[in-house]
Structure 1
Amino acid sequence: MLSASDLADRLARDAEAVCRHYLSAGHRAGNYWIVGDVANSKGKSLYVHLTGPRRGRWADAATAQHGDLLDLVRETCGLVDFRDVADEARRFLNEPRSGPAESKLAFLRSDDSLDSTPVERPAGERARRLFCMTQPLSGTLADSYLRRRGILRASLHAALRFHPSCYYRDLVTGRTTSYPALIAAVTDRIGTITGVHRTWLDPNGDGKARVDDPRRALGGLLGNAVRFRFPVHGPVPVMIAGEGLESILSLSHVMPGMPMVSALTANHLAAFRPPAGCQRLYVAGDADAAGRHGIEGLSRRAQALGILPLVLTPELGDFNEDLRRLGADRLMTNLRAQLAPEDAQALLPA
């Protein structure tokens, strides 16, 4: 039985055939296969290395997704369980291939038959499938994790859920396992789930899981965000947009009435699309170079839309660090000095 790393290596040996099969909307350009995204859309955001030491590695410049060809099989086929991913990879490796035309056949759905209808599962559909497998946050390991970080009312947010055993794959070694995870729904302006963000947790309750990258996103993040206290219908005249999930949850802890979004990364913060009717947009960035990039990018976007951008700055590295180390009262004092007077009066306790 081939291991995960063996399967990835086998797929990488014939990387172009894998791309022609699963990403048939793309094309070869030099030493790369170029396509729009893992949903096999036309475009040039996603690229796969076809030669050299990184053969079989891929990345999507628009969504920051990346991995090897086993991850690519998972994403393009909309699979969640590793067993299903491995079965699909094994079927492909056993499939006879005579050339590019044959690679455009539908995916093998069983050992001895072909489904004549190609299966295309957009990233948003895969994210919704994972979110549907979660359970309410209250009383779970994820709820405890956030409480230890000073965020006491996270279970009131419908965007946050818990998965008791979420699939995780090490992108370097190929080793697969599962951990409990905090799952956050990424949504568009009308509330449709376009992606999810996963934070894998230590099963013994000791913070995040001991893995190289305990946070990963799946699906469409660009222009979207995790939303808190955000109305689906009607204008949003005043709101906060920030980078990290826990940083925004810390702000929501002391300003529960303010609509807020977490764009998850500085690049995605810069690309966030403010809602209709927004008049004042507070941009909450982290105190580092990436955070400044997100603040500047979103501020320019807001100004172009006629929205007044106002920056909220933490005293320490981010607002969760402020909440944990300085306390809620000190955090509110810092925010009161930065908010417009009418917002401070309406949203913060006297």
Structure 2
Amino acid sequence: MTIAADLSRRLADQAEAVCRYYLSNGRREGRYWLVGDIANTPGRSLYVRLKAGESGKPAGKWTDAATGEHGDLLDLIAANQRLSTLRDALAEARRFLALPQPEPTDTHRRSSPAPTGSPEAARRLFAISKPVSGTIAESYLRTRGITDLGKCTSLRSHPRCWYRGDKDDPHNHERDAWPALIAAVTDLQGSITGVHRTWLDPSGYDKAPVATPRRAMGHLLGNAVRIGSAHDVLAAGEGLETMLSLRQALPNLPMAAALSANHLAALILPTGLRRLYVARDDDAAGHRATAELIDRAMTLGIDAMPLDSLMGDFNDDLRQLGFPALIDGLRRQLAPGDFARLCSNQGGGDNRSAAVSRRRAKPDQELPATVRQASTAF
């Protein structure tokens, strides 16, 4: 049995004592301890099993019905105490159980916390995040018309990503952790150099009501959030949702989201690239960045051209004009022969557009039950 498993079992044996200590604003009801959330907010959304059930379900397991989070008591302690590493969580569990702490070793010294905002911190955040499927992050992207997430391995979801607010954040003192869409920023070799975080409202309908719901960390210059492997052709742009919207129409076109105009202008291009499409944002910074990247690509012998949206950006085109208008606008701008090979499902546009319209009309029917509950629980 591993150290973590052993401590988790010991905590389960004292499940009610753990709850009374870390979730003191809750109360016992039958076999369960009920509280608002893992941060000890009063309420009834989170429940912890205090005794093993007749079906064999073990004590110590918990679920938050509002967010879908679940785990054992070691997970609960880590989240409740805002502990970012397993080592710290194990140390806190030993302290609660009055067990001796292990002697410090060279290994412990080498695994010290990563500096805030560093590439190592970004890699750790991405590693502890979960696949997007079935999460609030997926629900949010669906409300933006982005439904095809196949092979988007650079995207993940975190149920409670810590947010450091400032004096401009109205919710700064009420809630400091939100669900988040996590996107890996990588170099040309595929190594993670940073992450981009989009904090989300627990309902899944919008971004979190904070001053800066989008933030990046790590080394971004020259790198990007990449979807697909670029060989002879690539599309690059600023925003993540812009490039994901393009991918709905052109699923065979590799994408790179540089996350800002300055970073787009400095994007490092892969060797062997024959053609580059640049999604141009309709503002001064977007036009400047596009011109700089196209000029640099052409000096490298790459055929480069801009892609312009019909409205503010390609996500506006997808949501407000629909899939057929998006794909027709792109068809007119792509080089001859590219459209047929980059768009694998030309006949599916009407169905996708209708699905997006239905989601806008009846969003609750498209979201998981736990997400629908979250809109009233918070």
**Under a length normalisation based on structure 1, what TM-score does the superposition of the two structures give?**
0.64
Corresponding residue to 2:147 among 144, 152, 156: 152
Conservation of the 8 A alpha-carbon contact between 1:81 and 1:167:
no
Aligned partners of 1:280, 1:291: CA distance in 2, in Å? 20
Distance 1:197 1:81, change over 3 A: farther
- Bigger helix share: 2
Structure 2 CA distance for partners of 1:330 and 1:170, relative to 1, 3 Å: same
| Alignment check: 8 A CA contact 1:143 1:155 kept | no
Mind listing any 5+ residue stretches in structure 1 that lack a counterpart?
1-79, 86-109
SS for the counterpart of 2:163 is: strand
Aligned counterpart for 2:329 among listed residues 317, 334, 339? 334
Deviation at residue 258 of structure 1 after TM alignment: 0.7
- The answer for the alignment partner of 2:50 in structure 1 is none
Rounded to whole Å, the distance in 2 between the matches of 1:342 and 1:128 is: 39
Give the letter for the 1:139 counterpart.
G
Is the Cα contact below 8 Å between 1:138 and 1:155 reproduced in 2?
Answer: no
- Are positions 1:293 and 2:288 aligned together? yes
* One-letter identity of the residue aligned with 1:247: T
Structure 1 residue 304, shift from structure 2 partner: 2.4
> 1:172–1:297: structure 2 CA closer, same or farther, 3 Å change rule?
farther
1:222 aligns with 2:217: no
CA distance in structure 2 between the partners assigned to 1:225 and 1:124 by the alignment: 13
Residue 276 and residue 82 in structure 1: after superposition, are their counterparts in 2 closer, same or farther (change >3 A)? Answer: farther
After superposition, residues 1-350 of structure 1 pair within 5 angstroms as 123-154=118-149, 156-172=151-167, 175=173, 177-230=176-229, 236-348=231-343, 349=346
How far did 1:84 drift? 6.5
Supply the RMSD in Å over aligned alpha carbons. 2.5
Task: Count how many residue pairs are aligned between Structure 1 and Structure 2.
Answer: 239
Larger Cα Rg: Structure 1 or Structure 2?
A: 2
SS of residue matched to 1:144? helix
Evaluate the alpha carbon distance shift between residue 342 and residue 141 of structure 1 in structure 2; reply closer, same or farther with a 3 A threshold.
same
Please give the alpha-carbon distance, in whole angstroms, between the structure 2 residues aligned to 1:193 and 1:330: 35
Distance in 1 between residues matched to 2:113 and 2:143, nearest whole Å = 43
Ranges in structure 2 where 5+ consecutive residues have no aligned partner: 1-78, 85-103, 348-378
Partner of 2:13: none
Helix, strand or coil for the counterpart of 1:169? coil
TM-score, normalised to structure 2's length? Answer: 0.59
Larger relative contact order (Cα-Cα within 8 Å, sequence gap ≥ 6):
2
Does the CA-based 8 Å contact 2:151-2:227 persist in structure 1? Answer: no
Divergent runs of 4+, >6 A:
115-120
